[in-house]
Amino acid sequence: MSIVSIVQLPTKVLREKAREVSAKEITSPRIQELISRMKKTLAASENGVGLAAPQIGESLQIFLVSEEAEEIDKGRPPTVTEASPPQDPETKLQKRTWRYDVFINPKIKKISRKKNEFPEGCLSVVGKFGIVPRPEKITVEAYDENGKKFVRSATKFVARVIQHELDHLQGVLFIDKATQMLASEHNTS
């Protein structure tokens, strides 16, 4: 079980609607190995806090959200998601082992009308960032990696990350929703 390359736009799987995972499949060795590879891949990413199965080439309704997203909510404002470098290296959270929440076959149960606009980036669209309006609160029902159904409500940055990953499962990228694209000061090309 090794780290997998994160696929980049224009790879076709990023634009496909992912298929649901059957109840039997959730605990199968194949899906458990996939989840393990996703965790390792996300852990190895420099700034990722979420990862969807399509981002590693698997068109399945599975995504992860790192506990780091909760820490960002507590420790610094939700200004940039996923692949964006921190504004100031001094504010970067220490690299540590994070817990990953696994969402399988997620369904939106409730979403707030009030929206916030913040910059987003994506591990599959490296070097691009844009302002994306998203509801500030969300409630999702999903299955965990053991096949147990759960309901999770989130606000702020965590809600944004969940919505970003939900979009991946529908073949939608943040660039499709961005109201304004931002110039990347951190582009090394």
Q: Is the dihedral of CA 59, 159, 78, 115 positive or negative?
A: positive
70 catalytic? Reply is: no
- pLDDT average, residue stretch 50-68: 96
Measured from the Cβ of residue 105, the count of other Cβ atoms closer than 10 Å reads 19
* C-alpha span between 39 and 50 (Å, rounded): 10
* Separation of alpha carbons 85 and 92, rounded Å: 9
Distance of CA 112 to the CA centre of its chain: 19
Cis before 10? omega within 30: yes
Q: Give the pLDDT of residue 69.
A: 87
* CA-wise closest residue to 104 among 158, 155, 35, 13: 35
Domain boundaries, the chain: 12-182
pLDDT category at 76 given cuts 50, 70, 90 is low
Tell me if the domain spanning 12-182 has CATH number 3.40.50.2020. Answer: no
The stretches of the chain forming alpha helices (DSSP H) are 23-26, 29-44, 67-75, 156-169, 174-177
SS3 10: coil
> What pLDDT shows up at residue 82?
45
Residue 78 has pLDDT above 80, yes or no: no
Exactly one of 117, 145, 165, 185 is catalytic; which is it?
165
Type of residue found at 22: S
- pLDDT tens per residue across span 125-174: 999 999 999 999 999 999 999 999 999 999 999 999 999 999 999 999 99
Q: How many residues does the chain have?
A: 189
pTM of the model: 0.86
Residue 86 scores a pLDDT above 80: no
Q: Please give the backbone phi and psi of residue 165, each rounded to the nearest 5 degrees, phi first.
A: -70, -40
And the tokens for 171?
């073949």
